[in-house]
Amino acid sequence: MTVRERTQTIEEQTLSPYAALSKNTLGRDTPEEECTLRTPYQRDRDRILHCKSFRRLKHKTQVFLSPEGDHYRTRLTHTLEVSQIARTIARALRLNEDLTEAISLGHDLGHTPFGHAGERALNDLMEGGFRHYEQSVRIVEKLEKSGAGLNLTKEVRDGILCHTKGTEAMTLEGRVVRLADRIAYINHDIDDAERAGVLHEKDIPREITSVLGGRRSERIDTLVHSLVENSLDGRIRMDPEIQEAFDKLYDFMFEYVYLNSYAKAEEKKVPNLIGALFDYLRKPENLPDDMRRIAEQDGIERAACDYIAGMTDHFALELFQDIYVPKSWNI
């Protein structure tokens, strides 16, 4: 028996009947020989962790555009917080922790520079729109590894695609990630907003804090406990009172942070910047060599969109300056 087979036997003996067993995976689009050490979901996690798109998340905006300070969240630290929360829930429910982690680490690979402002800009430019969760799947299926993709299992790709809105994931692990994502970003965005002087935790209405708690750690603990205690029957959900307070907290954050004119002042510049880059890159001669293959297969606008979506905030700014800002003349 290989190490992988032994791990899969342990999964079968110890995980919940609602868990996704790695031995029962729906597989990959391109069949591969099994690893002797790692299960398919462990291999997917490792592939995501080592890919270029994952590394670029460290320089992509979470909520606050180009914040000055080392302690604000980036898309990468958000991803790690989602992974930690999701794994805690999955372990408590005896779900497949490896699948949960793989989905968590891959869920935001397709996020644009400048956060949701960049996503909205590309959505306005692209025929058919742009959605970061679809782009995340496109990255792992087609863009990574010079067009070969990561060849991930069906369950991981489905969890990535369904991590935000619309259809629920086919696995409970994917459904856990969807809620862990929301738990993570709402609570760490409060922390970042307080650091930025946009709000204070004491501003959160008493009707919310009396149910969820007044501090970030208390709120996360309350939400995670409620999820675990109410999901033992294979339906991922919270206690109705907790869910209602959580929804109110989301609405509060939308009004006081996500739509806050001070916090979002710089975002009004993003559509012009993204639009200018898009216009420049729609000329084939301006695309980098590795994106010309995409242009030939899917069209020049798709290639320009893919290239921009993959940029970090820093790279997008530098490219814009290089193209459109006059340089000093050195004699």
Residue-wise pLDDT for 299-314, tens only, equals: 999 999 999 999 999 9
Cβ atoms of 316 and 114 within 8 Å: the answer is: yes
Instruction: Provide the token pair at 243.
Output: 């869910």
Cβ atoms of 88 and 94 within 8 Å: the answer is: no
Distance CA 117, CA 67 (A): 15
Tokens 């999901």 belong to 231
Judged against a pLDDT cut of 70, whether residue 53 lies above it is answered with: yes
> Which whole number is the average pLDDT over 165-170?
92
Judged against a pLDDT cut of 90, whether residue 265 lies above it is answered with: no
Mean pLDDT of the chain: 94
> Which whole number is the average pLDDT over 316-330?
87
Handedness of CA 27, 11, 48, 128 (dihedral sign): positive
Distance CA 238, CA 182 (A): 13
Residue 330: per-residue pLDDT: 61
Q: Is 255 left (phi over 0), alpha (psi -120 to 50) or beta?
A: alpha
> Which whole number is the average pLDDT over 148-166?
96
Closest CA to 316 of 324, 192, 132: 324
- List domains and CATH numbers for the chain: 3-317 (1.10.3210.10)
> Half-sphere exposure (CA, 13 Å, Cβ side) for 82?
33
CA distances from 283 to 143, 167, 267 (A): 20, 36, 26
> Which whole number is the average pLDDT over 156-180?
96
Instruction: Provide the token pair at 194.
Output: 């307080």
pTM of this structure: 0.95
Judged against a pLDDT cut of 80, whether residue 137 lies above it is answered with: yes
**Residue 242's pLDDT band (boundaries 50, 70, 90)?**
very high
Using CB atoms within 10 A of its CB, is residue 130 exposed (0-12), middle (13-18) or buried (19+)?
buried
Closest CA to 184 of 228, 249, 139: 249
Judged against a pLDDT cut of 90, whether residue 119 lies above it is answered with: yes
| Other beta carbons less than 10 A from residue 318's beta carbon | 12
Judged against a pLDDT cut of 70, whether residue 69 lies above it is answered with: no
* Choice between 290 and 184, residue whose per-residue pLDDT is larger: 184
Distance CA 267, CA 60 (A): 14
Residue 263: per-residue pLDDT: 66
- Tell me how far apart the 2 most distant CA atoms of the chain are, in Å: 74
Judged against a pLDDT cut of 90, whether residue 49 lies above it is answered with: yes
Closest CA to 181 of 250, 244, 113, 128: 250
SS (HEC) of 120-167:
HHHHHHCCCCCCHHHHHHHHHHHHCHHHCCCCCEHHHHHHHHCCCCCC
